[in-house]
């Protein structure tokens, strides 16, 4: 079935040769899978491109801020989500079932980059950022029994439908690019050919050390999606050993053993400016996760000069350099032991400079050049 844009809301660039369209997941945050498109959109605008972002739904404040930079928005979906707390998951389920293709986009824009797992459309590039079923596999192990049982009953069907959907996205795209080596390996395991890898960008002019004299009197961690980001038992064990932990995130139903812990301060959702200060003053950032195709937290932390303690697997193992910009451990036992030792003994302060240097490899201006090259915009590459 074919889905089309409403002609009344379609944006036509003044010059098609200088236009680019990004397709993104529901734009209810500037973090995670939507961030690459938002940052790259600004870079294209800086070079004079007409830029449009197509999404199922967008947050008015985010939209207003991007429009100040000259970015256009088109919403093609309903504002209502049945699963309010997980709009991307809600939209993904609907896309699996409806399987609509949005054909009009490639007729109006020279360059179309689809970064979404919720919209199927022809594109120059499909930017693969992870498989939902793989994430659900990791999350389901930590959910209540009735959720876990329900998921395992429908898992096989969901995997079949997701494979079919990704296959359509690949067939409709000239290039299939993954956001990390680990992410590429997931798609290859599912039988998809990956044409290349481009890491997600970070604005290192914003994420930078906010102080030259960090207080270093706490460890920072992130409470994300239940079971995906935040090994709660590991964090508890570290806090039990006397480590002062500050945690940020938008998780509404934390276990009581964390909420009431004397050594854990839960900050909830924080602004980006507050987050920069939190990273900059932390002794180190603890990133305990179960599933992470790339992982922005380690890169953000390093950009602010703070090393990262995380696992030697998946996306974070590609960004953190062991004993140079942080520490990579193989299991929970090693993580707890090293977390406590670092708290008690500290580390060489020169690691902070190495962290900043490492993070600059992911700066949006460097990543943008990679996108220009794969889109074969050679004249703009020369300008860079």
Mind listing the pLDDT tens digit for each residue in 313-369?
999 999 999 999 999 999 999 999 999 999 999 999 999 999 999 999 999 999 999
pLDDT of residue 320: 99
14 C-beta neighbours (distance < 10 Å), count: 7
What is the pLDDT confidence band of residue 379, given thresholds at 50, 70 and 90? very low
User: How far apart are the C-alpha atoms of 35 and 155, rounded to whole Å?
Assistant: 28
What is the pLDDT confidence band of residue 224, given thresholds at 50, 70 and 90? confident
**Which runs of E-coded beta strand occur in the chain?**
2-3, 19-23, 50-55, 71-75, 101-102, 111-114, 123-128, 173-178, 196-197, 219-222, 245-248, 264-268, 285-287, 308-311, 326-329
Asked if the domains 2-201+363-383 and 219-361 are classified in one and the same CATH topology, the answer is yes
Whether residue 157 contacts residue 96, with contact meaning beta carbons closer than 8 Å, is answered with no
pLDDT of residue 377: 65
pLDDT of residue 88: 87
pLDDT of residue 110: 82
Whether residue 235 contacts residue 288, with contact meaning beta carbons closer than 8 Å, is answered with yes
pLDDT of residue 229: 62
pLDDT of residue 84: 54
pLDDT at 7 over 80: no
Q: Which fold has domain 219-361?
A: Rossmann fold (3.40.50)
Average pLDDT estimate for 242-269: 88
Interval 116-157: pLDDT, tens: 999 999 999 999 999 999 999 988 887 778 888 998 999 999
Average pLDDT estimate for 298-312: 99
pLDDT of residue 253: 66
pLDDT of residue 213: 95
pLDDT of residue 101: 78
Domain boundaries, the chain: 2-201+363-383, 219-361
Provide CATH code, domain 2-201+363-383. 3.40.50.2000
* Long-range pairs for 12-17: beta carbons < 8 A, 24 or more residues apart: 12/108, 13/50, 13/52, 13/108, 13/109, 14/50, 15/50, 16/108, 16/109, 16/110, 17/110
Residue 217 φ/ψ, nearest 5 degrees? -110, 20
Separation in Å, CA 368 to CA 20, 30, 111, 114, 375:
13, 18, 14, 16, 11
Of 65 and 339, the one with more pLDDT: 339
């Amino acid at each position: 079935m074919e889905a089309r844009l409403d002609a009344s809301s379609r944006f036509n660039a003044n010059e098609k040769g200088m236009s680019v369209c990004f397709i993104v997941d529901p734009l209810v945050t500037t973090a995670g899978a939507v961030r690459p498109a938002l940052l790259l959109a600004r870079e294209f605008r800086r070079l004079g491109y007409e830029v449009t972002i197509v999404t199922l739904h967008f947050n008015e404040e985010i939209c207003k801020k991007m429009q100040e930079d000259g970015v256009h928005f088109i919403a093609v979906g309903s504002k209502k989500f049945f699963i309010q707390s997980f709009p991307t998951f809600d939209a993904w389920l609907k896309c699996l079932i409806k399987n609509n293709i949005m054909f009009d986009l490639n007729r109006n824009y020279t360059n179309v980059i689809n970064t979404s797992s919720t919209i199927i459309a022809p594109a120059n590039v499909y930017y693969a950022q992870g498989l939902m079923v793989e994430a659900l596999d990791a999350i389901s192990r930590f959910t209540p029994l009735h959720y876990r049982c329900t998921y395992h009953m429908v898992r096989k069907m969901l995997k079949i439908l997701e494979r079919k959907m990704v296959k359509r996205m690949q067939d409709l795209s000239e290039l299939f690019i993954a956001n990390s080596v680990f992410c590429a390996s997931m798609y290859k395991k599912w039988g998809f050919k990956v044409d290349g890898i481009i890491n997600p960008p970070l604005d290192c002019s914003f994420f930078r050390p906010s102080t030259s004299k960090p207080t270093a009197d706490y460890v920072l961690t992130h409470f994300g999606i239940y079971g995906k980001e935040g090994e709660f038992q590991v964090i508890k064990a570290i806090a039990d050993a006397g480590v002062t932990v500050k945690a940020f995130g938008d998780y509404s139903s934390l276990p009581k053993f964390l909420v009431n812990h004397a050594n854990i301060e839960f900050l909830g959702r924080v602004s980006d400016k507050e987050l920069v200060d939190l990273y900059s003053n932390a002794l180190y950032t603890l990133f305990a996760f179960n599933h992470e195709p790339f992982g922005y937290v380690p890169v953000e932390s390093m950009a602010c000069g703070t090393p990262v303690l995380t696992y030697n697997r998946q996306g974070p193992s590609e960004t953190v350099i062991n004993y140079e910009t942080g520490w990579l451990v193989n299991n929970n036992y090693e993580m707890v032991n090293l977390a406590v030792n670092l708290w008690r003994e500290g580390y060489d302060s020169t690691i902070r400079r190495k962290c900043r240097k490492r993070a600059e490899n992911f700066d949006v201006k460097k990543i943008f050049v990679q996108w220009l090259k794969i889109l074969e915009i050679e004249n703009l590459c020369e300008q860079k």
